[in-house]
Amino acid sequence: MTIIAAAILGIATPSRNITCFPLRRTLHCQIAQAVYRPQLQKQCATRASLDWHGFEFASNRRAVPSCSGGALAAPRYRTLAYGKTWRSGPFTCTSRVTGLTCTAGMHGLFISRQSWRGW
């Protein structure tokens, strides 16, 4: 029997610096270049001996840094132009020159090269 996995579709900012994809009712976001990257990598290594792999959140919990031992998935990304909004399940993300804001219910995540905030 052959099992064909459905492609995971995510979004990328026009700079391709920020990417996000939904998986199992959780939104996973990564950023390639960020001033806070060394700090979060150190926190993950100290706390759990793992690597920092971005951020994650679900509609029922606060967005937090994601520490893991490897890749979670290999999604395909489509570019979300600045000023445009993407929706997938409970998640809504808006791309701006200043960063990416994603929300679900009362929780959300803002990511930029200079800062991040989860609520």
Q: What is the pLDDT of residues 41-64, one digit of tens each?
A: 999 999 888 999 899 999 899 999
Residue ranges per structural domain of the chain: 15-118
Please, what is the average pLDDT of the chain?
91
* 16 — pLDDT class (breaks 50, 70, 90): very high
* 24 — pLDDT class (breaks 50, 70, 90): confident
> How confident is the model at residue 4, as a pLDDT?
41
The phi and psi torsions of 37 (rounded to 5 degrees) equal: -55, -50
How far apart, in whole angstroms, are the C-alpha atoms of residue 87 and residue 49? Answer: 34
Range name among 10-14, 51-55, 109-113 with the lowest pLDDT average: 51-55
C-alpha separations of 103 from 48, 58, 84, 110 in Å = 27, 9, 14, 9
> How confident is the model at residue 70, as a pLDDT?
67
% the chain with pLDDT above 70: 91
